[in-house]
Amino acid sequence: MNTSSAWWPVALSHALRDQPLACTLHGVPLVVFRDAAGAAAVLPDRCPHRFAPLSAGKVRDGQIQCPYHGWRFDPQGRCTQLPGRPQQACTQPLLQPLLSCEAHGLVWASLGAEPPQPPPVAPAPQEQALDIFWMSDRVRCTLQDATENFLDGFHTHFVHAGWIRHDRKRQQISAWVHALADGVEAQYSEETTQSGLISRLFEGERGISMGRFRLPGLAEIEYRDRQGRLNLLVSAWLVPAAEGELRLFARIVTARGRAPGWLKRAVLQPMFALILRQDRRILQSVSANQQRFAQVPLRWHRQAPLDSPQDLLGPWIRQLLAHGQLQGFEERRETFLL
Ligand code: FES
Ligand SMILES: [Fe+2]
């Protein structure tokens, strides 16, 4: 399925200030900046004059100034200044502007010609007062592999041994896998608290937890206590930057409580950064290994990944990404040792 015309996040709203930002979306290098009114603008990151990257330039009065000869472009891609000549208005866009908008703490862009339906995919709404912080990262892997990794509990005993779970201290859980309007969700119950350090530090009694994927690229994990109050919600927007290159924007949310937000962030952020590094390492080695086997005769390996019953979401995520919908989906309830 071609999802390049969907809304994809290209920058954190709070990170886009008076400097331009570079990003890549579906292989297209882009420059993101704010116009004079503060609205986000997105243009291809290449000056039409001698092809300098505009993201290396400066924002002047809400327009992007090329770092090479100083040509200026407005958010519609029109050249408004050619230094060295008397002012000449340029009415024709020399650069094709992208559709852009701002929502949920992110700047979004679309490579389509029309505003995409549906709107930017929103995080799960919460009733409580929240503390929020953001992280962003780049990983050399596919959207499919990263999404599955993020939502899969069965790698945590090995890749994050001791931090999230211990292989020696598995617990029985029941999982209910069901379809969403635009994705798939697994709901887990009967896991009291996870055996790892992070859970022991930050969670009280756990009620239920959810892992969900929603098109085009939102992966979320949500933990609630026995009263149904939020313990933790991590929303990760995964963006295909280029072939085999992924950009990640993660919004980490806890219910506002006694500990101040800055303190929670100071403790949680380095831990999440560690988890992210561990996942990045395994995902990149998986991608590199796929490359290594790309030309190897099929006699020595299988082409398709081998799914197990523990792969609760992965096969459905693969389907959603390939076809834009679930096919032959059946709800499932099963118990596991997690
Ligand atoms: S390359 Fe951009 S102004 Fe010359
Ligand atoms: Fe992980």
Which residue type occupies 195? S
Ligand having the closest approach to the CA of 160: 2
pLDDT value of residue 202: 63
* Predicted pLDDT of residue 141: 97
- pLDDT at position 338: 86
Shortest-distance ligand to the CA of residue 69: 1
- What is the distance in A from the centroid of ligand 2 to the CA of 148? 9
Ligand 1 is surrounded, with C-beta below 6 A, by 47, 49-50, 52, 66, 68-71
Which residues line ion ligand 2, judged by CB < 5 Å? 279
Query: Which atom of ligand 1 is nearest the CA belonging to 51?
Result: 1
DSSP symbols for 283-326: HHHHHHHHHHTTTS-GGGS-SS----TT-SSHHHHHHHHHHSS-
Q: Of 1.10.390.10, 3.90.380.10, 3.30.420.40, 1.10.10.10, which CATH number belongs to 130-295+310-337?
A: 3.90.380.10
Which ligand 1 atom is nearest residue 50's CA? 1
Query: Residue 94 belongs to what H/E stretch?
Result: none
- Between the CA of 135 and the centroid of ligand 1 the distance, in Å, is 33
Q: What's the pLDDT at 90?
A: 79
Residue 291 sits at φ, ψ, to 5 deg, of -60, -45
Distance 92 CA to ligand 1 centre (A): 17
Q: Is 70 helix (H, G, I), strand (E, B) or coil?
A: coil
| Distance from the alpha carbon of residue 325 to the mean position of ligand 2, in angstroms | 25
Q: What pLDDT was estimated at residue 147?
A: 97
Spatial distance between the Cα atoms of 269 and 88, rounded to a whole number of angstroms: 50
For 247, other C-beta atoms within 10 Å of its C-beta total 22
Structural domain boundaries in the chain: 8-83+91-110, 130-295+310-337
* Secondary structure of 169-204 as H, E, C letters: HCCEEEEEEEEECCEEEEEEECCCCCCCHHHHHHCC
> If residue 31 lies in a helix (H) or strand (E), which one and from where to where?
strand 28-34
CB atoms within 10 A of CB 109: 25
Q: Whose CA is nearest to atom 1 of ligand 1?
A: 50
For residues 183 and 194, what is the distance between their CA atoms, to the nearest angstrom?
A: 26
Quote the DSSP letter at residue 273.
H
Query: Along the chain (338 residues), what's the average pLDDT of each consecutive run of 10 residues?
Result: 87 98 98 98 98 98 98 96 81 94 98 93 95 97 96 93 82 94 93 68 75 98 90 96 97 91 92 96 96 93 92 96 94 91
Q: Which residue has its alpha carbon closest to ligand 1 atom 4?
A: 69
Q: Tell which residue, 194, 262, 200, 189, has the closest CA to residue 226.
A: 189
For residue 60, give the DSSP letter.
E
For domain 8-83+91-110, give its CATH number from 2.90.10.10, 3.20.20.100, 2.102.10.10, 2.60.120.200.
Answer: 2.102.10.10
**According to the model, what pLDDT value does residue 155 have?**
93
Closest ligand 1 atom to 69 CA:
3
Nearest in space to 257 (alpha carbons), one of 280, 234, 229:
229
